[in-house]
Amino acid sequence: MAVPARGDHDARRRDVSQAVWEVLAAGGFGGLTLRAVAARMGASTGLLTHYFPSKKALMRYALEVAHEHTQVLDRFPAEGEGLPGLRAALLDVMPLTPEGAARNRVWVSFWDAALGDDELAAAELRRYERWRGMLRPHVDAALRRGQLPADADPDDVVATAAGFGHGLVVQALFDPARFPPQRQVKLVDDFVALLAR
Amino acid sequence: MAVPARGDHDARRRDVSQAVWEVLAAGGFGGLTLRAVAARMGASTGLLTHYFPSKKALMRYALEVAHEHTQVLDRFPAEGEGLPGLRAALLDVMPLTPEGAARNRVWVSFWDAALGDDELAAAELRRYERWRGMLRPHVDAALRRGQLPADADPDDVVATAAGFGHGLVVQALFDPARFPPQRQVKLVDDFVALLAR
């Protein structure tokens, strides 16, 4: 048997990544199994065990795939520094589109897996740190520019904004009729205005 | 074989409920299986299938058990109507104690199961409605008493408070070192003060 050309290898890797993402988007981390990924690819479970010798290896890989798919794309350009930047960063994570909803479903589903596993819980802790780290420069800029009360604690403002954002994500995922995109945007706008008051 | 006395039946039912709760507290809805519940009870999986003919039946029952365990206990008496009541209602759901953390782990883990199943998603939607319904009278009272800006939309204030609360719960579950109980209380206090500003 010929050694696969380099291009074949990369193509197969893209196939695996795509199948893992589709399984995650369809059923979350709770529905992630070698069998489901193999079925998506039209491949055998045996082939998949070549890539992922254990469920844990598959989970680790899926975490990377989910991370790639949730890189912030700067979809909401901020109209200014400080609070406008915070507003844009919050809107970036909201389930305003079907793709945004799929991304959020995947992450919310990851919390169950992560709460039961020390390694995954540590990964989730770091993910939160990263997200708060993305909000932080906007809060610092808002303080510098006098857009927030001078005695506001930036760590607390960031934790409150991160909490508000994720809590709104969860409500919107379960009740899209009551939380259509325009209401999500209004709630984010009102929240940012509240911080500034 | 004699028909079990009524007391035996109730005792067995309590055993099942307790075992289901222990499995949920240990591994969330993701770890809920007939086998795990049977192992907790020291019973056979066969006995459990008598109670739960399907995984779905077990999930439905576990949802009831989780609901019973998360009834609000009025642990935080409000020092006044309106915003103090809202503060107390938010503190009631925070993971301030090991029991509070266990309750929250169970509910956060349910989101994964619920996102993949229409019936469970509908149950989660109703649970959110119930929780927002519990916050609502406090927001209405705060408006009547002039503790909130007169033009505040009560539905929006409730959704923002519910979002902030659950988002803080998730951060605290994954990062208890950074979100010890006293910081959770401070963040709730600051959030309520923000609404009042």
Q: What domains appear along chain B, each with residue ranges and CATH number?
A: 6-69 (1.10.10.60), 83-196 (1.10.357.10)
Question: What pLDDT score was predicted for residue A2?
Answer: 46
Distance from CA of B69 to the nearest CA of A (A): 18
Tokens of A96: 């305003």
Whether ipTM exceeds 0.85: yes
Pick from B107, B119, B174 the residue to mutate for testing the A interface (most A CBs within 10 Å).
B174
Alpha-carbon gap, residue B43 to B16, rounded angstroms: 10
Tokens of B95: 């993971």
Neighboring chain A residues of B124 at a CB cutoff of 8 Å:
174
Residue B83 has pLDDT above 80, yes or no: yes
Find the residue in A nearest to B167 (Cα).
A163
Question: What pLDDT score was predicted for residue B84?
Answer: 96
Per the CB < 8 Å rule, is A114 touching B160? no
Q: Are B164 and A163 in contact (CB under 8 A)?
A: yes
Residue B136 has pLDDT above 60, yes or no: yes
If you search the block for the tokens 């010798």, which residue do you land on?
A53
* Burial class of residue A144 in the structure, from the number of CB atoms within 10 Å of its CB (0-12 exposed, 13-18 middle, 19+ buried): exposed
Neighbouring residues of B14: CB distance < 8 A, sequence distance ≥ 6: none
Distance from CA of B12 to the nearest CA of A (A): 28
pLDDT digit string (tens) for A18-30?
999 999 988 889 8
- Confidence tier at A14 by pLDDT (50, 70, 90): confident
> Which residues of B, range 114-143, sit inside 8 Å of A by Cβ?
114-116, 121, 124-125, 128-129
Q: Which has more pLDDT, B13 or A5?
A: B13
Per the CB < 8 Å rule, is B112 touching A30? yes
Distance from CA of B171 to the nearest CA of A (A): 7
pLDDT digit string (tens) for B21-46?
999 988 889 889 999 999 999 999 99
Question: What pLDDT score was predicted for residue A26?
Answer: 87
Question: What pLDDT score was predicted for residue B6?
Answer: 57
* Burial class of residue B16 in the structure, from the number of CB atoms within 10 Å of its CB (0-12 exposed, 13-18 middle, 19+ buried): buried
Distance from CA of B45 to the nearest CA of A (A): 22
